[in-house]
Structure 1
Amino acid sequence: MNSESLIQIYDRRLEDGKIRPDPDQQKIARMLQGLNDNLKKASQPEAGITNLLKFFQGGLQDKRLMKGLYIYGPPGRGKSMLMDLFYDNSSVIKRRRVHIHPFMQEVQTKLHQWRQEGGGKQAKEPLPRLAQEIAAESPLLCFDEFQVEAVVDAMILRRLFETMFEYGVTVVATSNTAPDDLYKGGLQRDRFLPFIELLKEKMQVVELCGGTDYRRDRINSVGVYHSPLGVGAEEALNDAFLGLTDGAEGMQEKLLVHGRTILVPKAARGVAYFPFDALCVQPLGVADYWTIACRYQTLILSEIPIFKPSDRNIAKRFSILIETLYEQKTKLICSAAAAPDNLYTEGDGAEIFTRIASRLDEMQSEEYLSAPHNPAAPKVL
């Protein structure tokens, strides 16, 4: 853990010009610092192991120590950056940062496994057992892009989080959606409403709505379509990844689609980096592209080729990918061998490809780059 406090690191970034002065960000940074201070106090040796255990089991009388933070607002305002500052400098050793979709996927997989092991009879209500396991493994949970779209998730969340909070789990979450608007229009939403009240009871809810979209500014500064291919184009993509992720190295991630695993070569903070061949030469389809488009706010795609007549299937996959990204308003930063109009000029699908060329042009526009990402839960999971 860094010896500097969250506030000190934030102020240093201001001084270095890495971030701009933003009163809303500064307010939330102070709130996160306060939460970290409370967590640190609970873990002080002089407090004794008894108090620490009580804290993580919800036993301390000062329930303010239990309050997490729910940060919501439009994309690009710095929500993830602030949460990452908190996470990277937290005094809680056993902590986890995770996207809500893979987390719920893990929950559903584990519940299914337990029911299978017990022949459907082992535990009529396995959620308390799971909540206790989560609390033991990660008493601090940080969720990025918290959204609820799938009915199965909506029905599980209330009971799971209720028990997690009872076991003392502290939750920090970022979202584009206010708590009251979660799962809006969803099936059986009336059964989900108590979960919203639970969030507001156990977490401080704060809006980050500064007027500057920092992510859009960063994308504009690096450009989104780099052609022709070459060292300069690849350097631009690497710079874009570093800029959009605040210098994160990126790690491999795995996405599960219909029982199959998609390997994401490099990802961090809502940005995924793929070589063209991994997405369009491999036999992927709509479900795979939908999952990627929902999971990541920005896709960086390297080395789009000029399509030959024999590349019809590859060009078709690329077309499906672009249409899917467009539907979800996922931002695309790419390197290509030619301008969009010149990528596919000969072959059976060349005439239809003019629509995709138009999409690629539109996805470079200020209007598209300003549109909020639609992180709908992948329907294929």
Structure 2
Amino acid sequence: MGKVSDLYEQGVAEGRIRADQAQRDVLPHLDRVLDDMAAAPAPERRSAWRAFLGVGNPAPAGPEVRGLYLWGGVGRGKSMLMDLMAEAATVPVRRVHFHEFMQEIQAGLNRARQRGDQDTVRPVALEVAAQVRLLCFDEMQITDIADAMIVGRLFQVLLEQGVVIVTTSNRVPEDLYKHGLNRALFLPFIDLIRQRLEIVCLDSPVDHRQGRATGGQVWFCPADAQARTAMDTIWADLTAGAQAGPQRIEVGGRSFDLPLFADGVGRAGFWDLCGRPLGPADYLALSRTVRVLMIDGVPRLSASNYNEAKRFVTLIDALYEAKVRLIASAADQPEQLYNEGEGSFEFERTASRLREMQQAGWGRKT
């Protein structure tokens, strides 16, 4: 196994990483996971069918390798450290946003139900375990009851199969799915995290997403006539006279329309994307369709439009992970859009991401 700390110091020396003592303090914990994996024999791997039928030794060989739960405020470098972790690993590894991973799991559960499987979670977890030994999740957050009700069983099977889990989050484990429906059924998962993952806080006072050089203006507020004119000018420039029209986006046997699309650039009003019952799968499909997305009229968010605000958070997560360039007009600056009420804590991460997405050079390389 490589060393996360070596890759980190190399990045600092090359000027790609801004040195941060709080980040350096957690590097030994990341190195420890890889060292333990290198010292432990690889677990016995069975085919999904043999595992499902109970044929062979169900327990992984060798000592248990304890994973890692790295939490801290937004913009502290957790995602960057997760990238380094995946790069340093020499075992089969997957680095994936937690939201995207759970979408894949839910799709697998649907297939298992269609097969008539009584235990739908186990075969899906076994498929994952057959492909990776180290799972690196970025941004664990659980707001969907469908995810909350199966994630404990999913992790239990993965850990039984010897998969090592490393994850980042903005919250301590006890705050996951806070105030969620039927949360009592979720609490054993928190106990499982505490038992099987080392809990480490990245306690840096610096938000590394702030203070970066910005490129041309891509966030216009307030969303008035002047902002509309600026957005229209950018649209005309990006599409260069190409014929624009609605773009149908197919998602699992259904579809929704993006109001305007031309030459890889999409444009929609806030309510077109967040006022309709769209979900993570829809936004992931959208992020694969466009390289630039323009959103008009993002309002102030609060308890009065909580569902729309929640969809906006999910949309930004999908765009961020896919490196889609965002241009928007809004009622205020990102940090001032959602200042109080349920959901305001989660929006701190969204505001930080919106700031990062404004920096020069950010976005998908095409």
CA offsets 1:322-351 (integer angstroms, 9 cap, x no match): 976796495997569xxx6xxxxxxxxxxx
Tell me the equivalent position of 2:147.
Answer: 153
Q: Could you tell me how far apart the structure 2 residues matched to 1:196 and 1:176 are?
A: 15
Cα–Cα, structure 1 residues 334 and 114, in superposed 2: closer, same or farther, change >3 Å?
closer
Q: In the alignment, is the contact (CA less than 8 A) between 2:103 and 2:281 conserved in 1?
A: no
Q: Could you tell me how far apart the structure 2 residues matched to 1:158 and 1:105 are?
A: 16
Tell me the equivalent position of 1:87.
Answer: 86
> Within 5 A, what are the aligned runs for 1:112-131?
112-118=110-116, 123-131=117-125
Cα–Cα, structure 1 residues 255 and 162, in superposed 2: closer, same or farther, change >3 Å?
farther
Deviation at 1:165, TM superposition (A): 0.7
Given the alignment of the two structures, is residue 318 of structure 1 paired with residue 318 of structure 2, yes or no?
no
Q: Secondary structure at the match of 1:17?
A: coil
Q: Could you tell me how far apart the structure 1 residues matched to 2:282 and 2:206 are?
A: 24
Deviation at 1:115, TM superposition (A): 1.9
Cα–Cα, structure 1 residues 168 and 201, in superposed 2: closer, same or farther, change >3 Å?
same
Q: Which amino acid aligns with 2:190?
A: I
> Within 5 A, what are the aligned runs for 1:149-188?
149-188=143-182
Q: Could you tell me how far apart the structure 2 residues matched to 1:260 and 1:91 are?
A: 40
Tell me the equivalent position of 2:206.
Answer: 212
Q: In the alignment, is the contact (CA less than 8 A) between 2:98 and 2:140 conserved in 1?
A: yes
Deviation at 1:80, TM superposition (A): 0.3
Q: Could you tell me how far apart the structure 1 residues matched to 2:281 and 2:126 are?
A: 31
Tell me the equivalent position of 1:12.
Answer: 10
Tell me the equivalent position of 1:362.
Answer: 333
> Unpaired segments of 5 or more residues in structure 1?
43-50, 235-253, 264-273, 305-316, 341-355, 376-381
Given the alignment of the two structures, is residue 200 of structure 1 paired with residue 190 of structure 2, yes or no?
no
Higher helix content, 1 or 2: 1
Cα–Cα, structure 1 residues 190 and 366, in superposed 2: closer, same or farther, change >3 Å?
closer
CA offsets 1:207-263 (integer angstroms, 9 cap, x no match): 112000001233x54465387968xx98xxxxxxxxxxxxxxxxxxx9958844899
Q: Which amino acid aligns with 1:285?
A: L
Q: In the alignment, is the contact (CA less than 8 A) between 1:294 and 1:374 conserved in 2?
A: no
Tell me the equivalent position of 1:132.
Answer: 126
Q: In the alignment, is the contact (CA less than 8 A) between 1:293 and 1:325 conserved in 2?
A: no
Q: Which amino acid aligns with 1:165?
A: L
Given the alignment of the two structures, is residue 41 of structure 1 paired with residue 39 of structure 2, yes or no?
yes
> Unpaired segments of 5 or more residues in structure 2?
47-57, 220-229, 239-248, 302-307, 340-344, 352-366
TM value normalised by structure 2? 0.64
Cα–Cα, structure 1 residues 20 and 39, in superposed 2: closer, same or farther, change >3 Å?
same
Deviation at 1:194, TM superposition (A): 0.6
Q: Could you tell me how far apart the structure 1 residues matched to 2:348 and 2:68 are?
A: 22
Tell me the equivalent position of 1:225.
Answer: 218
Cα–Cα, structure 1 residues 172 and 258, in superposed 2: closer, same or farther, change >3 Å?
farther
Q: Could you tell me how far apart the structure 1 residues matched to 2:299 and 2:37 are?
A: 44
Deviation at 1:293, TM superposition (A): 11
Q: Secondary structure at the match of 2:95?
A: strand
Q: In the alignment, is the contact (CA less than 8 A) between 1:87 and 1:142 conserved in 2?
A: yes
Q: Secondary structure at the match of 2:296?
A: helix
Tell me the equivalent position of 2:268.
Answer: 280
Q: Secondary structure at the match of 2:17?
A: coil
Q: Which amino acid aligns with 1:217?
A: G
Q: Which amino acid aligns with 1:79?
A: K
Q: Secondary structure at the match of 2:69?
A: strand
Q: In the alignment, is the contact (CA less than 8 A) between 2:135 and 2:165 conserved in 1?
A: yes
> Within 5 A, what are the aligned runs for 1:334-345?
none
Q: Secondary structure at the match of 1:373?
A: helix
Which of 27, 30, 38 is 1:29 aligned to? 27
Cα–Cα, structure 1 residues 148 and 262, in superposed 2: closer, same or farther, change >3 Å?
farther
Q: In the alignment, is the contact (CA less than 8 A) between 1:301 and 1:335 conserved in 2?
A: no
Deviation at 1:137, TM superposition (A): 1.3
Q: Secondary structure at the match of 1:84?
A: helix
Q: Secondary structure at the match of 2:36?
A: helix
Q: Which amino acid aligns with 2:42?
A: L
Q: Could you tell me how far apart the structure 2 residues matched to 1:221 and 1:367 are?
A: 22
Q: In the alignment, is the contact (CA less than 8 A) between 1:138 and 1:169 conserved in 2?
A: yes
Which of 36, 42, 50 is 1:52 aligned to? 42
Q: Could you tell me how far apart the structure 1 residues matched to 2:86 and 2:38 are?
A: 13
Deviation at 1:303, TM superposition (A): 8.6
Identity rate, percent? 30
Tell me the equivalent position of 2:77.
Answer: 78
